[in-house]
Structure formats: C-alpha cells, structure tokens
Amino acid sequence: MSTVTGSTTDLPLPLGEDRHRPSLHIHPRHGWLNDPNGICRIDGRYHVFYQHNPAAPVHEDVHWAHVSSTDLLRWGDEPIALAPRPDGPDSGGCWSGCVVVDDGTPTAVYTGVRSSSQDAGVVLAYSDRALRAWTPAPAWTVDTPDDGAISDVRDPFVFAYDGHRYAVQGAGHQTGRPQLLLYGCDDLAEWVPLGPLLTEDDPTAAAVAGANIWECPNLFQLGDRWVLILSLWRDHVLSGVRYLVGDLVRVGAGLRFVARAGGVLDTGPSFYAPQVLVEPDRVLLWGWAGEGPDRTPADVERAGWSGALTLPREVCIEGDIVTLHPARELVGLRRERLGLESGALVDAAAFEAVSGSPLRLVLIGPQGARIEVIARVAGGRLLVDGSMVEYFGPETSHTTRAYRPADHRWSLESEGPVELWRLGLEDPDS
C-alpha cells in the first residue's frame, strides 16, 4: 500500500527500517494524520480523505489528503484535495467534513477554520467525478452561531430523511454542555437552521455520552433503527467514541433524535473520530488511531510520521447493540497459513489470528520479559500490522498501538485452537 503525498526524501528513518510502520493501513509516509473525512464511493472507486499536515508529524496546517481503492485492500495516493488558503475561510486549516454527490457534482462539506477552533464555519468545495481537483468556495456557507452557549462548531455530516436533505454539526462549549445542530440543506448553498438535533437534556445521551463538545457526528439508518455516533471532547481531552440508538421525530420544522440505548463503540485507547460510508447493503467505517503514550515526541519526530486509520469495518446491529467487524474484503489479505502452538513466537510483521477460545497477545523479550498488549479476551479476530493492533470480539472491538522493541517478538497465548495467517498483498508481478 502506498499513502500520502509529501516528499519522502527527508524522512529521518528509512521506510524499510521502521518496524512500527503499518504496511496495510492508510497512514502518511511523512507528516501527520488524524480524522478520516469525505469517505465516499463514486463510479466503483472508494475514496478516503483525512486530515493531514504534509510538512511535519504535528497537528498543524491541516490539509485533506486523499487515497483511493477499488477493492478496500490496495490504496493509492491521490493529489492533496484541500489546503488552507491565506486570508481565506480556511486559512487556519481544512478540518473534518464529508463528501456528497449534489446533482451529479461531488461536493466536500467541511469545517473551515480561521484564527482558532472558535472561529470556524462550513465551507463547500467542488470537484469532478475523479475527485482529483477541487474548487473551494470563497466564503463560509454557515457561520459560527451567535449563541453564548456555543463556543465551538465543527464536523458537518449530511444525511437524508423523509425525502429531504439535512446536515448535523458537532457543537458545544469548552466549559459547558454539548449539542448537535441541525440544518435543512436541500440546497447545499443555502442552509436553514432548525435548532438542536440533540442536547444533554436527553437522559440516555447524558448518561452514555457526557462531554463538553460532541465531535464528528455520524447519523444513519441501520435496519429499522437510527444510529448516531459521537466522539467526545471532554475537559480538553479526547474521551472516546459512543453510539446511540434511537428514533428521529418531527418537532416543528425540524427533527429531534430521541435516544433509547447506547454504549462504547470501541473500547481501545487508540480509536477516535470515525466516519461511516452508507452503502446499499452495509455501513462501512474507518477510525483514527493516534499514537499511543509509549510513543514519545522524539520517537515521532525521528520516524517522521504520526497516526493511521483503522482497517475498514462493517457496522452491525443486533437489538440495540452496535458492534464493529472487519470488512468482508479483508480476508483477501490472508497469505500463507502459519502453524502455531500456544505461546509460540509469531514471525510475521503483519498477521491475523482467529480463535473461538480466550486468547492474549503479548510481546516476549529476553529472559522471559513480557509486555501484555491484549489482555485475556473472548475468542474473536485479531489483526496486527506494524504498531496497529485491532481486536474484534463478539460484543466489542478494541483498537490500540503497540511498539515492539527490537529484542521482543509477538506471541499468542490461546486456551484453544488458533488459525493464524500472515497478512500481505499479492505481488503484482506474480
């Protein structure tokens, strides 16, 4: 897989010598990555954009980078899609948003930041169906609301309901309460404010998703239920991702989301700001996996890159329980099957384990030193790729980062049989 734009000639650490670098996940060759944006499928090709600083592995000067694929396995670089414009409505960064096809025209609907995150509005940008060249509008389509209860707005997400098009926008106050703002946008250039879609007055939302700001909202129908995904900004800390299951109800000219259940979408420490792609037969999702606490700023600077996206996942629901599972296409990454006895060392940079019995993932070092990466979990699927670790069980998923010391090796400890595959992409010349 190849990702990102930006020069690689000045990488402090040669690509082939970085054992923490994934080979199968979307991530930057150089620079910074955070939220996935604008995920869409147009003319048979999947497009994933993400927030990216091409100059350095720090969260500054945010662009939209772009990769595409026809099979969800092999991702190719595309040109940078959006870049901050001096003195423009996005001079401080092109932050999160989505892509919709508006009367045949792919249109990015994103957060343009000027001086700070408290100075932000919605910006539109237009492209052809190749999505390689974009023309952004010269001004915000929607300004920051004049409301003392709102200090921050961001991350517009467009959805359809009852024959009309709406947008939901994350909002809240850095020392106050969160809310989601709703707009009617049948005409993408003319947004009509319709009040809050959701506030903490909803008791289920308050119990499940307490925060100061709700970020990166995703609202979609799954079966006969509506699912709302929220990333939590709480006390200046990114505080995980929650889902709510409920109903949309008419209130005057607008809508309200009424939650009836909810929970944690992924229990791991390295999962935030996911975005979905609603397809006719499924809902796909990617999340941002930031670097873990064991990765120091000096480590990141030396490596020259920071952040990765998860592998694509399918969103499933049973009753009011939402779970994530690897996209069905990912079995195409399996190469040869490896033999394994419980506790044996795994000699593969990327691998997948499947077990119906409880298992652990540990790093084994000299003199039996142990670093536990995944504590005892129920049987499921475990995918490891460089420093990316993704576990999928029957009731939960767990995303984390693990930085294997040079003198340590992976080891799987299972209480029953394990199927193990080395993961990789086929040699295009084979």
Q: Where is 234: in which H helix or E strand? A: strand 225-234
- The whole-angstrom separation of Cα 284 and Cα 85 is 32
CA dihedral 176, 182, 183, 188 (to 10 degrees): 100
First-to-last alpha carbon distance for the chain, in angstroms, is 16
Beta bridge pairs of residue 397: 392
Q: Sort strands 305-306 and 272-278 into parallel, antiparallel or unpaired.
A: unpaired
Residues 6 or more apart whose CB falls under 8 angstroms from that of 187 comprise: none
87 is catalytic: no
Select which of 35, 152, 202, 385 is catalytic: 35
The answer to whether 42 touches 117, Cβ cutoff 8 Å, is no
125-156 core/surface letters (b: 16 or more CB in 10 A; e: else) = bebeeebeebebbeebbbebeeeeebbbbbbb
CA dihedral 332, 336, 337, 340 (to 10 degrees): -130
- The whole-angstrom separation of Cα 345 and Cα 361 is 11
Q: Sort strands 370-377 and 380-385 into parallel, antiparallel or unpaired.
A: unpaired
The answer to whether 124 touches 105, Cβ cutoff 8 Å, is no
Residue with tokens 């497009």: 47
CA dihedral 414, 415, 418, 420 (to 10 degrees): 0
Torsion-angle region of 407 (φ positive above 0: left; ψ -120 to 50: alpha; else: beta):
alpha
The answer to whether 344 touches 424, Cβ cutoff 8 Å, is no
Tell me the backbone φ, ψ of residue 301, rounded to 5 degrees: -60, -40
- Name the maximum alpha-carbon separation found in the chain: 69
Q: Which amino acid is at 112?
A: G
* CB neighbour class for 278 (10 Å; exposed up to 12, middle 13-18, buried from 19): middle
Tokens standing for 56? Answer: 């350095």
- The whole-angstrom separation of Cα 401 and Cα 221 is 31
Tell me the catalytic residues: 35
